[in-house]
Structure 1
């Protein structure tokens, strides 16, 4: 493409992420410290792979070592202040905090037998190390994740200690310091609780999977494929942004990172074609935020839901599919109508990639398809992630044409050899599972052969260190979230808040959902996906469950609104990052993004009130019908919100169109009938009335 040089440079992208995403605000280290951090990150990944595949450890030991790796590396990589980051130097305090983190990480492994034999009691030394762990987690979270979640964790700790002084329904008997420290570091209900457990297993492996995808070149391929498929259509660059960001969401757990990486390419392209700065930034922000709502990975929150709700991964991914499709359908429809309203066409031929070359690389999507197949086949999440990493490494071998023909032969030979061994000598019957199990030795054999021919060792090491580096902020966030969950468990705060929200709403379902939505948006502002979901599911979801709603719709409800906080002013980090790329005004960019993402503000209400949208208690025909009516409803809402369809939409038409769209989205025979009738009337008026309010014929370009 001739104008790709207009996209942001790597340095500009990094500067933007450091400004709006605390997880990216790292020092640029040099010398011996850089080597220590490099080998520390590599050791972190190797340790995780070893424990999860070869030699499992007791939960407390594994989680503490995981925590120790994360904290010690955070204090070396993340500066205490922005000013110190600019200097790129470490102070004596950073070294001390890093060394203390190593001590905390080794405490459980070295004293495991003693702690277990104490039967719940702790010594003075235990208290010191437990208190130290809490302080280190809070400081590491402040540096790597940001102030909001740190403040929330501190408030919860204060609430636990000063419970007797709390007003009204918040009062409780209080928790003394010994009990706080014991529950936070010497049980699995605090720092070492469920959030960190998920971080140390599923999330880490899927972050490694994402790192290997990036090294394979999948991220850039998403952009190329999106341009090839959507670039020539009406408003092509905006649709490229939506398509590529939806795909990028499968390998990025951060809305801001997604905005900057894909937006540095798509936003300049949209501006060049005629989109307003704020609208161009809004499209990218809305699409990038939605990437975390799209299965299969969903910003790692799906794995936390497994532990919190106790249902299998596939049920969660299946339930999230239709709402995610509706979200992106809404953004796509509104950008299409905006392009028609303003009169924007697609990309010119010279800006389009060679489609033949793009489609020849479709094999780069195999890892994402494979991860879905692995999860659907009944493999454990851990094994599915490991198989996904191996698949990505295999796919990466086909980038080099020199030895490309050798690898399929080696792989097929490995599969045949292993299946022969399993059926002839190990007594296994020929089955799909045996075929799947033969994948691992065949893949490892092929990768070893590739090192002999191509020397791909450097890329593998880079992916291992990159994945571990991405995991650092997740370690801090989940550890801090564990503090919040621990306090809620110890004090019963979740149930108290749930009852207060229900009482405030007078028992009204819609009002309770509205208040819960506000709580989820506020709690989600400035927090990464994993911590965001832990906080909202612990504090806000119980209010919905108290009304008799099942757990999955309730958890997805708060998850959606926690994510949408990234594009909801005034603290709309994804929208602000997009404005940094586009040069637009941040608040207006956020307002435009919230308008484009209107589906995310509507659909959660619908699937709580009628779970058919989550494929719960319905059949195949029901799923097809509810999807059709919901997408049609988004079409009507999009026309009403933008004010254009086949021609300009009059004010009364806009109101009726939005109302009809809401009726279509809400599942039900009466609502569907009324919605379809309304949709037919509006469509008929659009086709029959050939002139807009100012008398321009259909198809004449309107002013923005």
Structure 2
């Protein structure tokens, strides 16, 4: 398998995800690009220049999205006999018609806003027709850009809403009328135009746009070079660099596949060069790239939706997610060290690693917008969308000033350099709009599910799921985790989170309270969020695993399985913070205590990783594994053992030394046995 073919396959997967299908004819590229740039400009105008009501913003946002989907994505990616229906090399007439119809149907709530508001709950025939057409075309757009699963879930919920009265008694539901269904789903802010779409329109777009612009200006490659220069020379250096560069790229990229292609193209061959098998190299990159959505301060789109659902400042969500995210990355970093130790590998030769300070200075301008973003979010406490807007403006100004300075120094035309920056930003806007299509359609289609749940079906679903869990919180969490992984195989993270949170979060909180376990709402939401993310590398469908396998020349299924094994260190963390709110900093105040919890959680993750990987200083013996798991459990949740031994909850942190002692005991045993062997 040639390297060219491998990279080509990875690029094809990324191309399909971003909608770069119909880009062969210049006129198609110009049309698609113009609409994409207009969408980006509209979104940029919202924080500072334009004031519109929320329904109008959501409708215009969705109208741009459906137009780009119908123009950019064919009905099917496979060639069929009816070419005018399945054209992939041009935009057929039927898709122009569908795009126009979809835009008109979506914007109907804007055109007749006052009339619809005055007829709330009593739609006339015209309302029903436009609502029905909009739902159909949104579902079809969702199928084109995301695939069948999310639309299928929406259709199944719809069928349940109408067929409820005719179902067996234990799952029966009173049912809804066509008028009630269309009013709720298409003509109100309880369905398609609900909170998820609002978050997509008002917040997520600008962060995705910032990520695309940073990517266009070379930030992804800069982070990769920075990580290689810092860590490449050490044992398993390229793998450690992969973890760091993917974490940094995760700051600006909401896509696991884009992250794999950006960093993996360089790190996977380097990992193979120092001795990692292709499967291990690809799995390391997949695990690192998948977790990029966990990284504060940007995280994934679902994090903004959590903030809206819980009516929390976004920085509170970031604060709660910080320890689990960083612990997860520390644990993956440790996994790369263990794999290198197992195989007796070394790092890259010093001459192949660029000088750190040279790399840092050469691309320092890429860090300025991120510093501005952090300053706006954390110091100025501005809203996320205003912070992202300021960071985007900063990026443009910094890049423009840099290019003009370089042009003057080289005695070239500053005007030409300025125009090149404008073109670069334009391409970044197109890329940002493409990246948003999945999020916009996922939030709109998931809004159908949320709207139906809010009609009263939610209580019935809660009863069914509670019956399946037999009233046991542990079984319920396991069901939620498995369901998230299965549903997430075919859905984006955001859609998976919305569907699972709508169904399971109320039950998690209710059952926990019934068992005397106080579970913070944000912990329950983050639990669904984490397992939705992990689905990106879950075989047999994890696209991130397919992408990395294509680059590494390894088997995609084996890569996905290995990546999932690595992600077990992430999978255990949500179970820990459900039962130990300290990990999401609920009720914790002050930096000293927060840092103590963070450091102990890192050691807990290390102990768990040692147990799962079967290696510490040497291969673990069977009796050492339960000891390591015990150390991990104590360090993750000292409160449990405090309750077990009758120690006051306020003194739970005194058990941390016990956990460290158990962990150190295994270390000393292995060290002694290694010396004896020598």
The TM-score with structure 2 as length reference comes to 0.90
CA contact (8 A) 1:330 1:598 kept: no
Which residue number in structure 2 is paired with residue 557 of structure 1? 527
Partner Cα separation in structure 2 for residue 6 and residue 356 of structure 1: 31
Q: Which residues of 2 match residues 23-422 of structure 1 at below 5 A?
A: 23-24=18-19, 26-84=21-79, 87-360=88-361, 361-376=363-378, 377-397=380-400, 399-400=402-403, 402-403=405-406
CA contact (8 A) 2:580 2:637 kept: yes
Question: Given the superposition, is the C-alpha separation of residues 27 and 10 from structure 1 closer, same or farther in structure 2, using an over 3 Å criterion?
Answer: farther
Which residue number in structure 2 is paired with residue 422 of structure 1? none
**Unaligned residue ranges in structure 1 (runs of 5+):** 407-448, 698-704
Partner Cα separation in structure 2 for residue 178 and residue 683 of structure 1: 67
Equivalent of residue 459 in structure 1, options 424, 449, 463: 424
CA contact (8 A) 1:216 1:395 kept: no
Q: Which residues of 2 match residues 539-558 of structure 1 at below 5 A?
A: 539-546=503-510, 547-548=512-513, 549-558=519-528
Shift of 1:391: 1.9
CA contact (8 A) 1:626 1:667 kept: no
Matched, 1:680 2:651: no
Partner Cα separation in structure 1 for residue 37 and residue 337 of structure 2: 45
| CA offsets 1:339-394 (integer angstroms, 9 cap, x no match) | 01101111112321233320213342222222122111211222111111112223
Could you tell which deviates more after superposition, 567-576 or 134-143? 567-576
Partner Cα separation in structure 1 for residue 635 and residue 403 of structure 2: 50
Matched, 1:473 2:473: no
Shift of 1:639: 2.2
Question: Given the superposition, is the C-alpha separation of residues 270 and 10 from structure 1 closer, same or farther in structure 2, using an over 3 Å criterion?
Answer: closer
Which residue number in structure 1 is paired with residue 498 of structure 2? 534
CA contact (8 A) 1:7 1:268 kept: no
What count of residue pairs does the alignment treat as equivalent? 645
Which residue number in structure 2 is paired with residue 438 of structure 1? none
Shift of 1:262: 1.5
CA contact (8 A) 2:407 2:414 kept: no
Question: Given the superposition, is the C-alpha separation of residues 10 and 276 from structure 1 closer, same or farther in structure 2, using an over 3 Å criterion?
Answer: closer
| CA offsets 1:11-70 (integer angstroms, 9 cap, x no match) | 54421324xx64446322413232221211111122222344222222222222221111
Which residue number in structure 1 is paired with residue 625 of structure 2? 654
Equivalent of residue 585 in structure 2, options 573, 597, 615: 615
Partner Cα separation in structure 2 for residue 510 and residue 284 of structure 1: 31
| CA offsets 1:588-615 (integer angstroms, 9 cap, x no match) | 2122112212222111111111110111
Equivalent of residue 605 in structure 1, options 575, 581, 587: 575
CA contact (8 A) 1:203 1:300 kept: yes
Equivalent of residue 17 in structure 1, options 3, 14, 19: 14
Shift of 1:168: 4.3
Shift of 1:403: 4.9
Could you tell which deviates more after superposition, 308-317 or 168-177? 168-177
Equivalent of residue 478 in structure 2, options 502, 507, 514: 514
Question: Given the superposition, is the C-alpha separation of residues 22 and 462 from structure 1 closer, same or farther in structure 2, using an over 3 Å criterion?
Answer: closer
Shift of 1:467: 1.5
Equivalent of residue 567 in structure 1, options 521, 524, 537: 537
Question: Given the superposition, is the C-alpha separation of residues 110 and 473 from structure 1 closer, same or farther in structure 2, using an over 3 Å criterion?
Answer: same
| CA offsets 1:78-120 (integer angstroms, 9 cap, x no match) | 0111125784133332122111022124322322232223243
Which residue number in structure 1 is paired with residue 488 of structure 2? 524
Matched, 1:588 2:558: yes
Could you tell which deviates more after superposition, 211-220 or 659-668? 659-668
Partner Cα separation in structure 1 for residue 87 and residue 355 of structure 2: 42
CA contact (8 A) 1:519 1:540 kept: no
Partner Cα separation in structure 2 for residue 381 and residue 450 of structure 1: 34
Partner Cα separation in structure 1 for residue 385 and residue 341 of structure 2: 46
Partner Cα separation in structure 2 for residue 228 and residue 168 of structure 1: 65
CA contact (8 A) 1:516 1:558 kept: yes
**Unaligned residue ranges in structure 2 (runs of 5+):** 80-85, 514-518, 640-651
Question: Given the superposition, is the C-alpha separation of residues 618 and 31 from structure 1 closer, same or farther in structure 2, using an over 3 Å criterion?
Answer: closer
CA contact (8 A) 1:666 1:672 kept: no
Shift of 1:673: 4.6
Shift of 1:404: 8.6
CA contact (8 A) 1:525 1:566 kept: yes
Which residue number in structure 1 is paired with residue 82 of structure 2? none
Which residue number in structure 2 is paired with residue 504 of structure 1? 468
CA contact (8 A) 2:10 2:548 kept: no
Matched, 1:484 2:454: no
Shift of 1:470: 1.6
SS in 1 for 2:189: coil
Question: Given the superposition, is the C-alpha separation of residues 351 and 401 from structure 1 closer, same or farther in structure 2, using an over 3 Å criterion?
Answer: farther
SS in 2 for 1:651: coil
CA contact (8 A) 2:6 2:553 kept: no
SS in 1 for 2:348: coil
Could you tell which deviates more after superposition, 449-458 or 658-667? 449-458
CA contact (8 A) 2:9 2:550 kept: no
Partner Cα separation in structure 2 for residue 10 and residue 628 of structure 1: 39
The TM-score with structure 1 as length reference comes to 0.87
CA contact (8 A) 1:66 1:105 kept: no
Question: Given the superposition, is the C-alpha separation of residues 508 and 48 from structure 1 closer, same or farther in structure 2, using an over 3 Å criterion?
Answer: same
Question: Given the superposition, is the C-alpha separation of residues 502 and 162 from structure 1 closer, same or farther in structure 2, using an over 3 Å criterion?
Answer: closer
Partner Cα separation in structure 1 for residue 3 and residue 402 of structure 2: 26
CA contact (8 A) 2:7 2:265 kept: no
Shift of 1:452: 8.5
Q: Which residues of 2 match residues 416-431 of structure 1 at below 5 A?
A: none
Partner Cα separation in structure 2 for residue 223 and residue 200 of structure 1: 31
Partner Cα separation in structure 1 for residue 395 and residue 298 of structure 2: 15
CA contact (8 A) 2:102 2:138 kept: no
| CA offsets 1:303-348 (integer angstroms, 9 cap, x no match) | 1111111111011001101000111111111110110110111111
Equivalent of residue 689 in structure 1, options 646, 658, 673: 673
CA contact (8 A) 2:74 2:88 kept: no
Partner Cα separation in structure 1 for residue 234 and residue 299 of structure 2: 28
Partner Cα separation in structure 1 for residue 109 and residue 406 of structure 2: 48
Partner Cα separation in structure 1 for residue 77 and residue 68 of structure 2: 18
Partner Cα separation in structure 2 for residue 166 and residue 389 of structure 1: 53
SS in 2 for 1:689: helix
Partner Cα separation in structure 1 for residue 279 and residue 460 of structure 2: 41
Which residue number in structure 1 is paired with residue 643 of structure 2? none
CA contact (8 A) 1:41 1:468 kept: yes
Partner Cα separation in structure 2 for residue 14 and residue 591 of structure 1: 22
